[in-house]
Each structure stands twice: as structure tokens, then as C-alpha cells.
Structure 1
Amino acid sequence: MPTSETLTTERILEATEDVLRRYGPAKATVVDVARLLGVSHGSVYRHFRTKAALREAVTARWLGRTEDLLAEITEAPAPSAGEKLRHWLSALFEAKRHKAGDDPELFATYSALITESSDTVDRHLALLTGQLTSIVEEGVAAGEFTAPSPASAAQAVFVATARFHDPVHAAEWRRPAIEDEFRAVCDLLLRGLRP
């Protein structure tokens, strides 16, 4: 990247992703990021006070892409809450599978970073279960779902579908039967939510 460009947070995060892709989380350094940007490592530290803060920001950015996609589904009108819930779960599964398959080096890097970034991951999980809660509440309001506690029901749905979005299960996502298994779990959950 040319040094004549203004050093922005976005440029630093993009460069950090490139460095993580090349070297992995164990070997990537702020000096590597600065070198790629053509600046001193002090310039990077002016934007991110520590290496940990930079890694948190990269992780949040990566997770944010999925959050934004799912927020669109959560906020959009749908013929039914059941269809919206199925669409949301499918989009989450596809987003995770896409990341794991299209860029396995970066996916592995983020899987490692996620274990280090518990606050970022906790915020991400809370946001996702909040979106699910909103969908369940919508279904309850329409009389389509019954759930004494929409938040508890949403948490149960999220846990029940972990196999299809938790990175620990990424190797299973390439199995031929995974689509059928995903549909069966969704069908079961939707039957359980109906009055």
C-alpha cells in the first residue's frame, strides 16, 4: 500500500487481515502490519494502543460482517416469523461455511483470535441472540410462536444450532449430509415453537 495515503483505522485493519492470513496469529506482529503499510509501528500504535487492541478490532470487524447481514434479515419484513427464523439460521450457517471454505487460513486465524477475544465474542453472541429474541418476539406477537420467555427460547435455538455456526464444528460443514441435518434441526425447532 502506498505511504502517501492517509493512515486510517480501516487501512490498518485491512493490512492486519493480510498479515494474519500470511503469518497466522502466533507469528503476526504490529511491525509486519506497519511494514505492509509503509509506516512505522508507532503510527499503528497511535490508532491501536496495544497489539491486543488491534487483534480485538480485527476480530470485531470480522464478526461484524455477519452481524450486519443477519441484522438485515432480522429487520426486514417476512411472510412469517417461522420463515424469517429459518432464513436467519440459514444465513448464519452459510456465512460461517463461506468464511471457512473460501479463506481457510483467515478462518483458522480468526478461530484462534476468538478464543483470545472473549469480550468481543461475548458481545457478538449477545447481539446474535438479541436478533433471535426479536424474531421469536415477532412470532409470539403474531400468534405463530409460543414462548413464555422469548429470550430463553432464542438462547435455546442458538445453542441447539451451534453445530451449524460454531467454528469448532467447521470440519463437519463439508459433509454431504449436513444440509439435510440442518433442515431437520430447523424443522424440529420450528415445531417446538408453534402453539
Structure 2
Amino acid sequence: MPATSQTLTAERILEATEEVLRRHGPAKATMVDVARALGVSHGSVYRHFRTKAALREAVTKRWLDRTSEALAGIVAEERDPEDRLRDWLRALFDAKRRKAGDDPELFATYMVLTGESGEAVPDHIADLTAQLTRIIEAGAEAGVFVTADPARTARGVFQASGRFHDPCYAPEWAQPGIEEDFEAVVDLLVRGLRR
């Protein structure tokens, strides 16, 4: 529906940008293409996003935030920290694998965009490690995990499980044995954290 019959919002622009990126790829997608998809002038898009780089950063952040938001529910649950840690790592792996497998063209586009990203990727990683920190802190408070520094431990868990969430490993996520490898790494991490 053209923007002339709806209020043009940043969210609508981001939705349209995602579709334009899917169709044209990051090398060919332009602000004019986004404006055309919305039925507005490109000046209207520039009023919300001053530059193409700002728009690309915002769409990358939106994409990454979807994963963070899905995982936040696990962090907030009041249940066994070990189960929450296992479920959080599983949910992260599943979310990244779905993104890579369900829409490979858009995933490839986002790989390009995350490479260009200014703050979106570091902010995403900081958010994910902060979520892990909260789970590990809960485990330490409950006497389930041993750690003197939950934030440092969370960074270690995040790095040690990287094969199952870092997009550079996406080609491996469909290979036979990946589930067994994931379970083995998670078991090792949990055993290392237990009192």
C-alpha cells in the first residue's frame, strides 16, 4: 500500500528496505528503490534516514534484534539456570540456522551488511553476552555454577559456542553430525560451570 494512504514510519521503511534487499541484493539496492516500493519520494525516506549507510545500519540492527528479543524470554524465566543456559544456547543456534536456511538470499545480504555495520554487530554481541551473564549470575547465586566473574565466564561461553552461532560457520550448520557436535560442546560447557 503506498505511503500516501498510510503514515510513513521508520518501521515501514525498514520493512520495505528488507524486501528491496531481498530482490536486488545489497550492491544494487538504492534509497530510490526503497522509496519506489513505498510509493513515496526518496526525500521522504531521507527524512527518516539521512544516508544510505544509516538505513543499512538500521535494517541490520533490526535483523539482529529479532534474535536478541527471542532469547530474552529465556533469560527472564524463573527456572533452573542450567536448563536455561542449555535452552538459550539451543535457541541461539536454531535462530541463526533458520535465518541461514529459510532465506539464503537475505542471509547473504545481511552477511554483507553486517560486514559494513558500525555499531549494530558489536551491540548485538554485547546484548547476547549480557543475557548469558544474567543466566550465569543466576546459576552462581543458586550454587549451580562456579564463577568469580560471571561476565568473563559469559564471554568465554559465547566464544566457545561460536561454531553454532557465528554466521561464518553457516555452511557447516546443515552438515551431518552438527547436532551431536552442538550437544557435546554444550555438555562440556555446562560441566565446566557446575559446582
TM-score (norm 1): 0.98
Partner of 2:50: 49
Partner Cα distance (2:93, 2:102) in 1: 14
Q: Percent identity at matched positions?
A: 65
SS state of the match for residue 121, structure 2?
helix
CA distance in 2, matches of 1:171, 1:147: 34
Q: What is the aligned partner in structure 2 of residue 87 from structure 1? A: 87
Write out per-residue CA displacement over residues 133-159 of structure 1, whole angstroms, 9 at most, x where no aligned residue: 000000000000001111111000000
- The one-letter amino acid paired with 2:114 is I
Per-residue deviation, residues 136-184 of structure 1 (Å, max 9, x unmatched): 0000000000011111110000000110001100010001210000000
Secondary structure of the residue aligned to 1:129 is helix
Matched, 1:127 2:127: yes
Q: CA RMSD in A?
A: 0.8
Q: Tell me, what secondary structure is at the counterpart of 1:27?
A: coil
What is the alpha-carbon distance in structure 1 between the residues aligned to residue 169 and residue 140 of structure 2? 31
For residue 6 of structure 1, report the CA deviation from its aligned partner.
1.5
Q: 2:144 matched to which residue of 1?
A: 144
| Structure 1 residue ranges, 4+ long, deviating more than 6 angstroms after superposition | none
Letter in 2 for 1:6: T
Q: Secondary structure at the match of 2:145?
A: coil
Structure 2 residue ranges without an equivalent (≥5): none
Q: Does the CA contact (< 8 Å) of 2:74 and 2:84 recur in 1? A: yes
2:133, 2:6 → 1: CA distance? 43
Once residues 118 and 129 of structure 1 are traced to their aligned partners in structure 2, the CA distance between those partners, rounded to angstroms, is: 19
- CA distance in 2 between counterparts of 1:111 and 1:72 reads 26
What is residue 161 of structure 1 aligned with on the other side?
161
Contact 2:49 2:55 in 1 (8 A): yes
In the other structure, the counterpart of 2:63 is: 62
List alignment gaps of at least 5 residues for structure 1: none
Give the superposition deviation at 1:87: 0.2
| C-alpha contact (below 8 Å) 2:81/2:136 kept by paired residues | yes
Amino acid at match of 2:20: V
The alpha carbon displacement at 1:5 in A equals 1.6
Cα offset for 1:118?
Answer: 3.3
Separation of aligned partners in 1, 2:5 and 2:150: 52
- TM-superposed deviation, 1:50: 0.6
Q: Which residue of 1 aligns with 2:77?
A: 76
SS in structure 2 at match of 1:140: helix
> What are the superposed Cα offsets for residues 63-114 of structure 1, whole Å, 9 maximum, x if unpaired?
1111111111101122x11110000000000000011111111111111101
* TM-score normalised to structure 2 length: 0.98
Alpha-carbon contact 2:57-2:118 (below 8 Å) kept: no
User: Structure 2 CA distance, aligned partners of 1:181 and 1:89?
Assistant: 13
Residue 36 of structure 1 is matched in structure 2 by 37
Aligned to 2:110: 110
